[in-house]
């Protein structure tokens, strides 16, 4: 297994829309295993392939306390969303140190393929619901900071640019 490099905002590659996986084969399973390794090493609770510069629709998530419940979603689709929404302060491995309050549907149903190419459906609530919606956004080229006001976004860009200059 390999720990992959994670792209950081404002890298334009984070805005590329990922393509569906046409066949779940050994190449995909290797990528899933590397993505899981990368997520656990970070450490994070979710990672989308887009964040490691692979533009295919694959997500790994583990919201368990013991860090032993890996969930893999290939070609995930939200098939139903609750009307009631919730605000949650989200972080992102591609935007280290930044937290943004994002409002999303409280519960979603997600249909996806597992590592064996088998379809499954999960009814997600709580942290899993937030996380799966956040990661599907990544596959669609959307980064959580895009939920911030324009003013906050431009302040954030300025802060990142300054930090990069200081690092040389
Ligand atoms: Ni993220």
Instruction: Report the pLDDT averaged over residues 29-44.
Output: 98
- Rounded to two decimals, what is the model's pTM? 0.96
DSSP-assigned states of every residue in the chain: --PPPPP-TT-GGGGSPPBPPS---HHHHHHHHHHHHHHHHTT-SEEEGGGGT--BSEEEE---SSS---EEEEEEEEEEE-S-EEEEEE--TTSTT--EEEEEES-EEEEEE-TTS-EEEEEE-HHHHHHHHHHHHHHTT--GGGGS-HHHHHHHHHHHHHHHHHH-
pLDDT given at position 167: 82
- Determine the distance separating the centroid of ligand 1 and the alpha carbon of 1, expressed in angstroms: 21
CATH number of the domain located at residue range(s) 12-167 in this protein = 3.90.45.10
- Determine the distance separating the centroid of ligand 1 and the alpha carbon of 94, expressed in angstroms: 6
Asked if residues 89 and 99 have their Cβ atoms less than 8 Å apart, the reply is yes
pLDDT given at position 123: 98
- Determine the distance separating the centroid of ligand 1 and the alpha carbon of 138, expressed in angstroms: 7
d(CA 16, CA 162): 25
Confidence check: pLDDT of 154 > 80: yes
> What percent of the chain is predicted at pLDDT more than 90?
91
Instruction: Report the pLDDT averaged over residues 19-37.
Output: 98
Instruction: Look up residue 76 and give its two tokens.
Output: 């995930």
Query: How confident is the model over 97-147, as pLDDT tens digits?
Result: 899 999 999 999 999 999 999 999 999 999 999 999 999 999 999 999 999
- Clarify whether 135 is annotated catalytic: yes
Going by pLDDT thresholds of 50, 70 and 90, the confidence category of residue 163 is confident
Among 83-87, 110-114, 156-160, the range scoring the smallest mean pLDDT is 156-160
């Amino acid at each position: 297994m390999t720990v992959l490099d994670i792209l950081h905002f404002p890298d334009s590659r984070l805005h590329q829309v990922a393509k569906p996986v046409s066949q779940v084969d050994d190449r995909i399973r290797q990528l899933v295993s590397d993505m899981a390794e990368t997520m656990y090493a970070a450490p994070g609770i979710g990672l989308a392939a887009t964040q490691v510069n692979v533009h295919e629709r694959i997500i790994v998530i583990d919201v368990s306390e013991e860090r032993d419940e890996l969930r893999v979603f290939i070609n995930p689709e939200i098939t139903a969303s609750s009307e009631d929404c919730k605000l949650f302060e989200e972080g992102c491995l591609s935007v280290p140190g930044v937290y943004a309050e994002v409002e999303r549907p409280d519960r979603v149903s997600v249909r996806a393929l597992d590592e064996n190419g088998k379809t499954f459906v999960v009814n997600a609530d709580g942290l899993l619901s937030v996380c799966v919606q956040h990661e599907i956004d990544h596959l669609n080229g959307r980064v959580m900071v895009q939920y911030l006001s324009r003013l906050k976004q431009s302040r954030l860009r300025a802060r990142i640019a300054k930090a990069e200059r200081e690092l040389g």
